[in-house]
Amino acid sequence: MRALVHHAAYEFGSGLRNRAMLLLLYLFPLGFFLIAGGLMIGLNPGFREVVIPAMVVFALMAGCLLGLPDPIVAAREAGIFRSFKIHGVPATNILLLPGAAIIAHLTLVAAIITVVAPLLFDAPLPANFGAYLGVFLAAAAAHAGLGLLIAVVSASTRATVLWSQLVFLPSVMLGGLMVPSEMIPDTFAVFARLLPATHAMNAMRGLAYGEATAFSSVGSLLVLLAGAALGVALAVWLFQWDRRAEGRRVSPAWGILVLVPYALGALLL
Amino acid sequence: MDPPAIAVEAFRKSYGDVDAVAGIDFTVAEGEIFGLLGPNGAGKTTTLECLEGIRYPTAGTLRVRGIDPSREPARLRDAIGVQLQTSGLPETMQVEEAMRFFCAYHGVKPRLDLLERLGLQAKLRAEYGTLSTGQQRRLALALALAHDPPVVFLDEPTAGLDVGTRAELHTLVAELRERGVALILATHDMAEAEKLADRVAILLSGRIVASGTPKALTAAAVDLTRVSVRSERETLAGHDGALPGVQRHARKDGYDVYFSDAVGATVMAVLDALEEAGDPLVDLRVERPSLEERFLELTTQGGVA
């Protein structure tokens, strides 16, 4: 237990000490919130209604997809996990604690956005705070699971950037953050439902704000929960201690299975 | 007879078609320091990594205090202390934090005294990425020893260390031996191995080409003993190989150097020659081949002892 506490404290602290992490966890999403919030509401006053969920989901994407995988891949490449293994640090802690620490940071960021948005942009608060928190945690876990999976399947830090952007950019464009899901053309709408951001926005709007949604918001919450569980499980299963790790070798291609809940969501919801 | 702390039997490790280690055997007793020597790529680090449970052997048997490293990793963790050749820690991890972090995983109290002893007391709040190479290696050493493991693996432990820290490490190693710790020292530093190790094995292309005590190894050297002489008028230059027992002669730094297989006869002849010439002796040295020379002899000629 003492080890777990030390490890968790270290992971949380490194989010503040590491400049790149500080940027991706705090400065980037909060800066984007201030600039894009003001700009988008100026262009489209209706954006005010979704600025809180949109910016919270954006923060989750920045932290979990751009911030979480890279340090894990860099640590594996630098042989840091070999030191951890020798001292008996379990693989699950190596993956889950950075994920949990990032979620803790992002909870602070979400709280800042939730408090500041009504003051700055006259944005409406969630109608159901319990549901808001629940959907936030499910969306955070789903994105963190995806981030961890990207970390374990990436062969290098370069590949990590590509995988992360492969999810991040479409999520910004199609996830319902900037453009409401209802306005996205049907062809893209199916693809959009493969993204956790789409389900996070749908569940936020339906469950936390009580809005009518294009598809089931409860279904989206279930997709997020299943995606989180599968992402984390696959990441633990595919984890390698270093580049030349031996023993059980599983193809990283199995990581594609993480899409199953999202594909089912796209087909059934 | 007590079972060995470390037992390696018919150990082979292959990467594809290449044998990194091609079937080696050795044992290390409790309280024994065993030097694993060899050039780069000889298989030293591979052997250590398999004993540490980081990699798995292709064939053979490895035991560390009776533990199979590849099958019982959880039991192995508290039994071994490891200083890796590349001792990676996260850049942002602070020195004291690292000590507390890993000690917590071993279930022991943090050993801040070790950090002080290794000259890191002023760096407790420093992040790993800001430490010099020597400081990083000292931290890795402190972490390897913090949980008082009965078996210790040190991979190039003094690389990048200054003279003072190197001496402190040698003292630490001597103390570990006194406490009955079995220690494998993989190193390029022959003088260090000669000084610290009770026994050494020289690895070449994945095979042990020589093993034994450093003294026995150097005694088995085919290299000749060196008799280096310096006189005021340097009258010995003309004798070259004409002295008894002398196989080769060279001039180096003002010395006449005789490579002899009969040292006593050579020294007597040298002194007689100087007396005859009325040339006062300034300096005379007799040097046995060092472990380094024996190592070079084996690694360059492929000799087997």
What residues does each domain of chain B span? 6-219, 225-288
Cβ contact B105–A241 (<8 Å): no
Residues A186, A187, A188, A194, CA torsion sign: positive
Average pLDDT of every residue of chain A? 92
Helices (H), chain A: 2-17, 19-22, 28-43, 51-61, 69-77, 80-86, 91-121, 129-153, 157-174, 186-192, 196-203, 217-238, 260-268
Residue A242 distance to chain B (closest CA, Å): 9
Q: How far is B286 from chain A (nearest CA, A)?
A: 46
Fold of B225-288: Alpha-Beta Plaits (3.30.70)
Contact B119, B168 (CB under 8 A): yes
For residue A59, the number of C-alpha atoms closer than 13 Å in the C-beta half-sphere is 31
Cβ neighbors of B40 (< 8 A, separation 6 or more) are none
- H or E element in which residue B6 lies: strand B6-15
How would residue A30 be classed by pLDDT, with cut points 50, 70 and 90? very high
CA dist B261 and B225 (Å) reads 6
Put simply, the chain B residues between 93 and 132 with a CB less than 8 A from any chain A CB are: 93, 97, 100-102, 104-107, 127
Select the residue of A5, A18, A246 nearest B92 (Cβ to Cβ): A18
pLDDT at A7 > cutoff 80: yes
Lowest mean pLDDT among A21-25, A85-89, A148-152, B133-137: B133-137
Q: Does A76 touch chain B (CB under 8 A)?
A: no
Q: Which of A11, A12, A87, A241 to mutate to test the interface with B (most CBs of B within 10 A)?
A: A87
pLDDT under 70: residue ranges of chain B: 1, 85-87, 219-223, 238-241, 289, 294, 297-305
Strand stretches in B94-232, DSSP E: 151-155, 182-187, 199-204, 207-212, 225-231
- Give the chain A residue whose CA is nearest to the CA of B101: A6
Distance from the Cα of residue A108 to its chain's centroid: 14
DSSP state, residue B164: H
Which chain A residues are Cβ-neighbours of B56 within 8 angstroms? 246-247
Question: What pLDDT, on a 0 to 100 scale, did the predictor assign at position A241?
Answer: 85
Domain B6-219, CATH among 3.40.50.720, 3.40.50.740, 3.40.50.300, 3.40.50.2000 = 3.40.50.300
CA A62 to chain centre: 7
Interface test with B, best of A76, A81, A86 (most B CBs within 10 A): A86
B51 chain-A contacts, CB cut-off 8 A: none
Residues A32-60: what's their mean pLDDT?
92
> Looking at the complex, does the CB of residue B74 fall below 8 Å from at least one CB of chain A?
yes
**Mutation site, B18, B91, B130, interface A, largest A CB count within 10 A:** B91
Instruction: Name residue A146's beta-bridge partners.
Output: none
Rounded to whole angstroms, how far apart are CA atoms B150 and B141? 15
What per-residue confidence (pLDDT) applies to A230? 97
Query: In chain A, what percentage of residues exceed pLDDT 90?
Result: 72
Handedness of CA A213, A215, A218, A223 (dihedral sign): negative
A80 Cβ under 8 Å from any chain B Cβ: yes
